[in-house]
Amino acid sequence: MNVAASMIAWGPLESANWTKEVELCLAFADAIDGASLQVARARAAAITNGGGSTDKPLSNATEPQGEAPDGNTKLSDYLERLNAGGPDIDAVVAEIAADTSLASQVGPERDELEAALKAHVRPIPATQAERNLVAYKALARVNPENQDYKEKISQYESAVEVESDRLKKIARQLEGRLVRTEAAFDGSSWSRHPSSPRYQDIRNYVTLYLIESSTGQKSIELFFNYTSRNGWLFVESASINIDGETSSVPTSQWLRDNDSEIWEFASMRGEAAVTLARKIAKANRVVVRFNGQQFYDDYVVSQSDKRVIQEMLAMWDVISAK
C-alpha cells in the first residue's frame, strides 16, 4: 500500500508505458488480502499535501498509540474527505455509516457534515436502494435525532430485501435456462445468460459466463468483447472507469477473429473477476476503454449488460453456497 500511495501521489505520468504499469499494479489491489486503495489514496493525499514519504508502518503494525481522536475531530476529518470529492466518496460514506464510535455532537462541524452527506444522497436514483440505504445510515449516524433518516432507512431496507428476494428467485431458475455450449473432446462447457449476446461479432459487450470443467468443477468468467466493421483495433489492454474511478482490467491475453466483421476478446476468472463484476453491476456508469496499438475505443456498459451480470452473480452466489 505504501508503494501504491507513492504511485498515486505521482499524478499524471508522461510515459504511457509507466502509466500502464501503474494502472496494472493498482488493479490487483482487490485481489490482495489486506490491501486497500482507500488507505493508499489517503496516504497519497498526505504526500501531496506535504505530509512526507510513505515510509511509516502499516495500520496493523505494532506501534505506540496516541489518544483516539474525539468526535469533533472525526467529523472534521470526514467532512474534509467528502469535500475532496473523487471516486472514493461512496467508501467514505460507508465508513461513516459503520463508525459506531462516532460521537456526533451538535455544532457547526456536524451541520456541515450532514449537509455534505445530504448533497451526496440527493442525486442518487431511488432505484439504487443499497447506495441510498448506506447514505441514510451515515446521515443517521451523524444526526441520530432526525426521524426522516430513520424512515428512509426502513424504506430502503425493505427495497433491498425485495430486490434480494427477486434476485434469489431468478438465481434459482437461471441455471436451468442458461444457453450451454459443450466442448467436443473433453466435455467441458461454458454457459451464457439467455439475454447475453449470442454471437461475438454483434456488438461490444461485457458479460459473465459459467464455466464447467470436464470433472464438473464450476467457475465464473468475466468476458470483455470488442467488435468492429471498420477494421482491427489490435487491442493490447483494457481500462475500466466505474463511476469516475479508472483502473486497468487484469485480463488474460487478447485474442481476435473475423469473418465479415472482426472481434477481439479477453477474459478473467477467480475472485478478482467476481469482485470487478460486482462493482460493474452496482455502478451507475461504467465505461470500458479498449486500448489498441495506435487507437482506442470506448464502450459505455449498457443497463442490459449490467442486469445480466447482476443475475449471473446472484446465480453464482447460490451455486457457491451449495
Residue 140 lies in a domain: yes
Q: What is the pLDDT of residue 103?
A: 66
Q: What is the pLDDT of residue 67?
A: 44
Q: What is the pLDDT of residues 195-254, one digit of tens each?
A: 999 989 889 999 999 999 988 899 999 999 999 988 899 999 999 999 888 999 999 889
Question: 53 and 110 in one domain?
Answer: no
Question: 183 and 90 in one domain?
Answer: no
Burial of 303 (0-12, 13-18, 19+ CB in 10 A): exposed
Question: 105 and 15 in one domain?
Answer: no
CB distance 57 to 16 below 8 Å: no
The SS3 assignment for 35 reads coil
CB distance 217 to 322 below 8 Å: no
**Rounded CA gap, 12 and 9, in Å?**
9
Reading the block at residue 128, the C-alpha cell is: 439504487
| Cα separation values, 280 from 77, 205, 276, 308, 309, Å | 29, 12, 6, 11, 8
Question: 130 and 24 in one domain?
Answer: no
Question: 154 and 91 in one domain?
Answer: yes
Q: What is the pLDDT of residue 49?
A: 60
Residue 302 lies in a domain: yes
Query: Residue for cell digits 487484469?
Result: 250
Reading the block at residue 193, the C-alpha cell is: 445468460
Residue 64 lies in a domain: no
Residue 133 lies in a domain: yes
Ranges of residues in the chain with a pLDDT under 50 are 52-71
Query: Residue for cell digits 476478446?
Result: 265
Question: 87 and 191 in one domain?
Answer: no
Identify the domain containing residue 172 by its residue range.
76-177
Q: What is the pLDDT of residue 108?
A: 85
Residue 317 lies in a domain: yes
CB distance 46 to 52 below 8 Å: yes
DSSP secondary-structure letter at 195? T
Comparing CA positions, the residue from 171, 163, 124 lying closest to residue 309 is 171
CB distance 288 to 301 below 8 Å: yes
Question: 93 and 54 in one domain?
Answer: no
Comparing CA positions, the residue from 69, 130, 111, 65 lying closest to residue 284 is 130
Question: 201 and 298 in one domain?
Answer: yes
Number of domains within the chain: 3
Question: 185 and 252 in one domain?
Answer: yes
Comparing CA positions, the residue from 40, 33, 129 lying closest to residue 87 is 40
| Cα separation values, 27 from 79, 159, 245, 252, 272, Å | 27, 32, 11, 14, 9
Question: 309 and 282 in one domain?
Answer: yes
Q: What is the pLDDT of residue 322?
A: 67
CB distance 306 to 257 below 8 Å: no
Reading the block at residue 183, the C-alpha cell is: 466442448
**Rounded CA gap, 10 and 5, in Å?**
9
Question: 1 and 35 in one domain?
Answer: yes
Residue 131 lies in a domain: yes
Task: Please provide the DSSP assignment of 235-250 as one string.
Answer: --EEEEEETTEEEE--
Residue 258 lies in a domain: yes
CB distance 129 to 152 below 8 Å: no
Residue 52 lies in a domain: yes
Task: Please provide the DSSP assignment of 40-91 as one string.
Answer: HHHHHHHIIIII--S-S--TTS-----PPP-HHHHHHHHHHHHHT-STTHHH
CB distance 87 to 245 below 8 Å: yes
Q: Residue 217's domain is classified under what CATH number?
A: 2.60.40
Q: What is the pLDDT of residue 318?
A: 84
CB distance 236 to 293 below 8 Å: yes
